[in-house]
Amino acid sequence: MKNTILLISLFKRALGIFFLVLNYLSYGLMVKVAADADLTATERVFYPILIYLAGWILVIAGVYLAGPEIIDKIKYYFKLAWRTVFKKNNDNQT
């Protein structure tokens, strides 16, 4: 029984991370659709808006499924990189 719960938890987190990756890929798709010359001007505006909204749905679902631990880990690495970049810039100014 515990193995099943662990397997479901891992599957949910993997699916959440997959949704977050799909969100980032949707930005490239928006640019591709907006630059497609075969579409009318209205379609080149409307379709990227739909893709953008779908991307937000993917973000919300991904964060919900991935869990707060994944988001905290991403924040930790972002803050670490941020401190590293600004520490190097402060060392160069002195």
**pLDDT tens for residues 36-71?**
999 999 999 999 999 999 999 999 898 888 877 777
**Helix ranges (DSSP H) in the chain:** 2-34, 41-66, 68-93
The pLDDT score that the predictor gives to residue 93 is 58
Confidence of residue 88 (pLDDT cuts 50, 70, 90): low
The pLDDT score that the predictor gives to residue 92 is 58
pTM for the whole structure: 0.66
Q: Say yes or no to pLDDT of 4 above 60.
A: yes
In this structure, the number of other CB atoms found within 10 A of the CB of residue 58 comes to: 20
Specify whether the CB–CB gap between 30 and 56 falls below 8 A: no
